[in-house]
Amino acid sequence: MTPIVFPLPGGEALAADLATLAGWELGRTGFRRFPDGEASFRLDPLPSQRTAILAGALDDPDPKTVALLLMAATARELGGAPVLLVAPYLAYMRQDISFRAGEPVSARHYARLLSGAVDALVTVDPHLHRIHRLEEIYSIPTRVVSAAPLLAAWIKAEVADPFVVGPDEESIQWVRKVAEAAGAPWTVMRKRRLGDRKVQVEAPDLADFAGRAPVLVDDIVSSGRTLIESAARLSEQGFRPGHCVIVHDLTSAEARDAVAEAGLSLVSVDTVPNPSNALRAAPLLLPAIGELLAL
């Protein structure tokens, strides 16, 4: 029987995209919140004996995760079939270490929560840094999709003589893949985070890239400070920074204004709905979903 794709809150476009591309049924949830903020929904059709695919980004994770847990539990109760989570943006991955006694390793706790709620997970470029593979923290089958080919294709098509710049050493994993696929040289800067909205970025000597157009690449933009500081270092060495190509755009309107005021334009994958979305995740996600459905 064909799966039913149910949108998580905010995941309506992604769920529709997946259902259309794969020929699966698009379910309805009628999701709303009671005046006190609690979640209300009704799965329609009932997922009796059919795999339920819950689709949507987990940005703004705290309210969305409770909705996800309730939907997954309901689908399991009514379905008797696997529940698969397609969360192109996976939350809490950056808190992968306890920096000070008493702080949670949220990535691990969150993984345990989701592993108990659904039967399999597909995501796009999770922030793997000190945790190297999702299998280290998730106990369910997972698939990770790389958005590098999308980012690389955009750079190839839109920027003449690019060089790819990552804002910190963590970004090497994305920057190298994107640059190689775009046939462009690359480098990374060094970043020190001083606060939620304060970072210090140092650039290496960029003389070798003279005459080329810098493209800043990162997995996540949130406050925008990382990109703004990185762009300032590029300007100091005579480059005109303009393009930032990002996987997950978590910016608020305020952060977007700050990025635009710095003369930067954001291009992102639609893993999180945002005005910068120019690249489509659904076609990349389908093969990974297919693999999990075949298990």
Task: List contacts with ligand R5P (CB under 6 A).
Answer: 94, 167, 170-171, 199, 218-226
Q: Which residues are CB-neighbours of 184 under 8 A, at least 6 positions away?
A: 155, 162, 163, 164, 215
Residue with Cβ nearer ligand R5P (120 or 216):
216
Residue with Cβ nearer ligand R5P (119 or 218):
218
Number of DSSP helices (H) and strands (E) in the chain, helices first: 8, 16
Residue with Cβ nearer ligand R5P (90 or 120):
90
Closest separation between CB of residue 218 and ligand R5P, Å?
5
Q: Order of strands, edge to edge, in the sheet holding 142-145?
A: 25-26, 4-7, 52-55, 83-86, 120-124, 142-145
Q: How far apart are CA 274 and CA 267, in angstroms?
A: 10
Q: Which of 127, 64, 124, 133 is nearest to 93 (CA)?
A: 127
Closest separation between CB of residue 129 and ligand R5P, Å?
7
Residue with Cβ nearer ligand R5P (171 or 274):
171
Closest separation between CB of residue 222 and ligand R5P, Å?
4
Residue with Cβ nearer ligand R5P (207 or 253):
253
Closest separation between CB of residue 221 and ligand R5P, Å?
5
Closest separation between CB of residue 216 and ligand R5P, Å?
10
Closest separation between CB of residue 173 and ligand R5P, Å?
10
- Map tokens 């893993």 to a residue: 271
Instruction: Report residue 64 as tokens.
Output: 């969305």
Could you tell me if 67 and 8 are in contact, meaning their C-beta atoms sit under 8 angstroms apart?
yes
Q: Which of 146, 137, 151 is nearest to 179 (CA)?
A: 151
Q: Which of 262, 283, 223, 214 is nearest to 94 (CA)?
A: 223
3-state secondary structure of 11: coil
Residue with Cβ nearer ligand R5P (50 or 225):
225
Considering only the C-alpha atoms of the chain, give the largest distance between any 2 of them, rounded to a whole number of Å.
62
